[in-house]
Amino acid sequence: MLVLTRKAGEEIVIDGRMRICVVQIRGNRVRIGIEAPDDVRIQRQELAFRPEREPAAASGQGCLR
């Protein structure tokens, strides 16, 4: 794992095709912006590794957004 220090407004470029920008730092929270090609899937960690849910739309329960 590469660990970098960045200030608000600074960016990281990955493979010349993806940009990660530090948008805002407030206390212990950091807002980042990510620009990537459409074929690159970007998900929050907690969503990427959760088990697949049964289709809630069919039962009328929950929202899949």
One digit per residue, the tens of pLDDT, for the chain of length 65 reads 999 999 999 999 999 999 999 999 999 999 999 999 999 999 988 888 777 665 554 444 443 43
8 Cβ partners below 8 Å, 6+ apart?
A: 22, 23, 24, 25
pLDDT at 53: 64
For residue 15, the SS3 value is: coil
